[in-house]
Amino acid sequence: MNLFRNFKSVTKTCYGRGSFGKLGEILEPQRSANDGFMVFVVDDYFEHKDDFVKRIPEMEGDEIHFISALKEPTTELIDNLRDDILKRRGLPAGIVGIGGGSMMDIAKAASLMFTNEGSSVQYQGLNLIKKPGIYHCGVPTISGTGAEVSMTAVLTGPVKKLGLKCDWTVFDQIVLDPDLIASVPTDQWFYTGMDTYIHSVEAITGTKKNTFAEAYSEKSLEMCREVFMRMDRKDVKSDEFLMVASYMGGLSLTYSEVGVCHALSYGLGKVLEIHHCIANCIAFDKLEDVYGDYVQEFKGMVAHNKVHIPQGLAKDWSEETISAMAEVAYNLPHMWDHAFGPDWQKVLDRERIKGWYRRM
């Protein structure tokens, strides 16, 4: 099918082992903007890792905010961070997110909210942001979500779990240093890594698939197979492959769309606060009727890496919970349209969605 997309890409990408050491030099030309200080939002996993903290290129007047990724980023967190900094210090020259999808989304969202008035709740959706944000830079320390390349910053709000999505959301700069992801615990490494596997599968198994998306997806899948089926995690190439696979999986999505797994995952996230990447794994594990051999391959990777995908969850869910999740998922028509075509309502109703949840 013809699909015309005209997306903005990340302006600058610095890749390579040790590239984190270049961050100071990279930020230097940006420092004189606005009120002349940088804000670093850093995953609090690193708070007491002194060797790491010392490498953050903090200069006089800069601020480091250590933030927990335990809860996925909320609109409230973004509004409070913005209000606090604007009130005390004024407008930063830029903001740098160091961490996983959570910290990168916080940096992307805060960048926009520094210049757009009111609460971030009113901007959850596509192209609702009115002005460009401040300079923003992303440094992933865990790979898979593709948040480093995507045009969205996913936020949980009082009503919706939805991104601030527009061209200005995209990072001005990313620094991809494979050394930074070495310390991720195995289960989390696998769950987040599978996000890019699932992005790549969903991007090419729906009505919006196209050659552009397929090219990125195929390379990402090939690298995932190396990382999760053939290599040992200690293999020097493993972290490099995963970091690039995440980037490519993110781009495959940019030119296509996610499908059934992500729709179900959003229900798990919104209603039960199950994190995005593990929620995807819980859902994908039960979607053999939709994703066939890919689910078999996924199960092979689970077994190979001896990770645990939670099972038997549905027995503790009330009908009310299942209905609430089905409602969230049903209300993502762009995902169903991609998965089943424009007549998706002929093959999908809330009952079918509930059936998938009952298998989990």
| 238 scored as a contact of ligand NAD (CB under 6 A) | no
Which element (helix H / strand E) includes 56? Answer: none
- Give the residue closest to ligand NAD by C-beta: 101
In whole angstroms, give the CA distance from residue 338 to residue 284: 17
Residue placing its CB nearer to Zn ion in the complex, 116 or 252: 252
Read off the tokens for 85: 């900094």
165-190: string of b/e by CB count within 10 Å (b at 16+)? bbebbbbbbbbbbbbbbeebeeebbb
**Residue whose CB is less far from Zn ion, 31 or 270:** 270
Contact with ligand NAD (CB under 6 A): which of 23, 113, 142, 282?
142
Instruction: Quote the CA–CA distance of 129 and 53 in Å, as a whole number.
Output: 33
Handedness of CA 277, 281, 282, 286 (dihedral sign): positive
x/- contact string, 56-75, with ligand NAD (CB under 6 A)? Answer: -------------x--xx--
Task: Decide: 156 and 270 in contact? Cβ < 8 Å.
Answer: yes
**Residue 195 binding Zn ion, by CB under 5 A:** yes
**Binding partner at 13 among ligand NAD, Zn ion, none, C-beta below 5 to 8 Å by kind:** none
Stretch that binds ligand NAD, among 74-82, 141-149, 200-208, 287-295 (CB under 6 A): 141-149
If phi over 0 gives left and psi between -120 and 50 gives alpha, with beta otherwise, what is residue 90? left
Options 30, 120, 150, 205; binder of ligand NAD; rule CB under 6 A = 150
Site string for ligand NAD, 94-133 (x = CB under 6 A): -----xxxxx-x----------------------------
DSSP 145-171: S-TTT-SEEEEE-SS-EEEEESGGGS-
- The nearer residue to ligand NAD, 41 or 354, going by C-beta atoms, is 41
State residue 175 phi and psi, 5-degree precision: -125, 110
Residues 217-256 touching Zn ion, rule: CB under 5 A, are none
By CB under 5 A, which span of 190-198, 232-240, 285-293, 301-309 interacts with Zn ion?
190-198
Distances (CA, A) of 91 to 33, 53, 78, 134, 174: 9, 24, 15, 9, 21
Structure tokens at 67: 């933030």
Give the nearest distance from C-beta 43 to ligand NAD in angstroms.
Answer: 5
3-state SS, residue 67: strand
Of 195 and 239, nearer to Zn ion (C-beta) is 195
Cα separation of 38 and 61, whole Å?
8
Quote the CA–CA distance of 292 and 193 in Å, as a whole number.
Answer: 20
153 interacts with, out of ligand NAD, Zn ion, none, CB within 5 to 8 A per kind? ligand NAD
Q: Of Zn ion, ligand NAD, none, which one sits near residue 267, judging by CB under 5 to 8 A according to partner kind? A: none
| Residue 144 Cβ vs Zn ion, minimum distance, rounded to whole Å | 8
How far apart are CB 137 and ligand NAD at their closest, in Å?
Answer: 15
State yes or no: residue 201 binds ligand NAD (CB under 6 A): no
Q: Which is nearer to ligand NAD, 37 or 45 (CB)?
A: 45
Binding site for Zn ion (CB under 5 A): 195
Query: Footprint of ligand NAD on this chain (CB under 6 A)?
Result: 43, 45, 69, 72-73, 99-103, 105, 141-142, 145-147, 150, 152-154, 180-181, 183-184, 188, 192, 195, 276-277
